[in-house]
Amino acid sequence: MSNFLFELAVVHGALILGYWLLLRGERNYTQLRQYLLAATAVALYIPLMKLPRLYQSASPAPGPSGVGTVAVERMTVIPLEEASPWYIDLLIGIYVVVSGILLLKFLYNVGYLIYLERKSRYEQFNQHFVRKVCGVEGSFTFFRWIFLSDSISKEHADYEVILKHEEAHVALRHTYDLLLFELFKVCFWWLPTAWFASREIRKIHEYQADAYALKTCSYDRYSTILISSTLTIHGLGLASSFHDGSILNRLHAMKQQTKNVSPWKLGALASLCALLVVALACTEDQAEVAEVDSVAEEAIGEFTSFELVEEQPEPAGGTDAFYAYLASQIDYPQEARKLGIEGRVYLEFIVEKDGSLSNIQVMRGIGAGCDDEAKRILENAPAFNPGKQRGKAVRVQMRMPITFKLKPEGTNPDGSAMGMVVIDSAVVSAQTFQVEASYDAGKWVGTVYSADGKTLPGVNVFIPGTSKGVVSDLFGKFELPVAEDQEVHVSFVGYQTAKLEVK
């Protein structure tokens, strides 16, 4: 989500900056309006685009179709989400609160306009029904509803000119623009360009409506009416109004002759848009194997516990001291000895980055107090030296079995059987991950899943001994052109390499 917001801010900021530098002084308001609408739509769409890189390191090779089998060793990575830092929760809370307030304001404006429509009385003008409202100054438009103050009557000298202006807002469907930009501000209120674009589109609406009204009215009369009209702020952010906007700017705009935007400016803005697509959208799948490990590491990030790392966790005081501690502190529960229960308890736990043990769980037990005793002794165990991946401390998931075994001879004074406890070595968990792939038309196509069935992004799929390879996308999918006789490896940090073979 954070990546989407960052890319949206970059795209929208760049496109609006291009507008400010190249188009702000232009007078073709139709083209300006189209650009602002397109810039907002493109800013929302580009972060969602995932296109192949422009330069591929692997080239397709012909070969017969077939079905691939995957040999995977028992190694796995299990993602574990850590608690978000408090400031992240605070930022999310602020984001939601501000967006909620703006959304309530938006809904209030819509509701108030509907309320005005219900309480208004109708008055026909040409093909439109004008809604006369008391208590509201001036005029404004919402979709096809034209609202007019009760104080402006048909006999008023300005009546027809004002209505022509409002007719333009209806005919040009300006309300749809306002709804789009208001909702854009609700979602991305922190973006300065969202507010700038909203103000700019309102000015363009008024310039367009002025030009429409001037077709049936002279400039001198129209400017006189505009200057003499009472400029009222009605607070309806979704309405277009004759009485909105800077008078001087509108008068100046009316004197300017409309002409098309220079082709070189349009070409420059189109090139800017293409550059943004290349920079932000063309990042999918294809990658050099030299970049694979870093991509995979980013995909795993801070929310993963490794089960196969370069440096395994070890007890801080040494392995012998650790097992001596466990052996001296653990007891064979009397209930289990009386009932003759024996067996192996499997414990799983996380060695954190600081070496502490967390998330201790009994994966498989035998009951009668043995499970609780095994968990208790591990909860009180001394810390480990943390595991490391590329020199950095990481969380590592481990598994340790503890065996409770009864002695065939002898009993205790209370009649219970004598028993002993065997502490087995702690080892990393060994589970499998899955690759579903098929070879057809000279390429491998497939999806990579974790042991619990979730898709894995950032998995390396490459031809060993070459620089040809790809990385699975956010949904674990990959596609690699390769010759039939070439071997393909699938690897991931924390996994042993799997092989794809054509049968």
pLDDT at 11 over 70: yes
Q: Phi-psi bin for 476: left (phi > 0), alpha (psi -120 to 50), beta?
A: left
418-453 per-position pLDDT tens digit: 545 555 544 444 456 678 888 888 888 999 887 667
190-210 per-position pLDDT tens digit: 999 999 999 999 989 988 888
Domains of the chain: 2-58+81-273 (no CATH), 287-303+431-502 (2.60.40), 308-428 (3.30.1150)
pLDDT at 497 over 80: no
Highest mean pLDDT among 283-287, 385-389, 408-412, 483-487 belongs to 483-487
**396 by DSSP, 3-state: which?**
strand
Range in 28-32, 93-97, 135-139 with the lowest mean pLDDT: 135-139
Structure confidence at residue 242 (pLDDT):
53
Residue type at 469? G
Structure confidence at residue 190 (pLDDT):
93
Structure confidence at residue 188 (pLDDT):
94
* Average pLDDT along the chain: 75
Neighbours of 481 (CB within 10 A): 19
443-449 and 477-481 strand pairing: antiparallel
Residue 73's Cβ-side half-sphere holds a number of Cα atoms within 13 Å equal to: 13
41-50 burial, b at 16+ Cβ within 10 Å, e below that, comes to: ebbbebbeee
pLDDT at 297 over 50: no
Strand partners, 162: none
10: pLDDT confidence band, cut at 50, 70 and 90?
very high
pLDDT at 417 over 80: no
| Between residues 408 and 461, the one the model is more confident about | 461
Structure confidence at residue 493 (pLDDT):
56
pLDDT at 412 over 60: no
Spatial distance between the Cα atoms of 140 and 36, rounded to a whole number of angstroms:
22
Contact yes or no for 293/493 (Cβ under 8 A): yes
| Between residues 476 and 128, the one the model is more confident about | 476
Rounded to two decimals, what is the model's pTM? Answer: 0.51
Highest mean pLDDT among 7-21, 227-241, 278-292, 475-489 belongs to 7-21
Structure confidence at residue 410 (pLDDT):
52
Q: Phi-psi bin for 471: left (phi > 0), alpha (psi -120 to 50), beta?
A: beta
First to last CA, the chain: 41
68-122 per-position pLDDT tens digit: 333 323 323 333 334 456 677 888 889 999 999 999 999 999 999 899 888 888 8
Mean pLDDT of 12-18: 93
356-381 per-position pLDDT tens digit: 888 888 888 888 888 888 888 888 88
Range in 28-42, 83-97, 147-161, 290-304 with the lowest mean pLDDT: 290-304
238-288 per-position pLDDT tens digit: 555 555 556 667 766 776 767 788 889 889 999 998 888 888 866 544 444
Q: For residue 358, what are the CA distances in angstroms to 80, 363, 426, 491?
A: 12, 14, 15, 28
Structure confidence at residue 63 (pLDDT):
37
Cα dihedral: 124, 125, 128, 132 (round 10) = -60
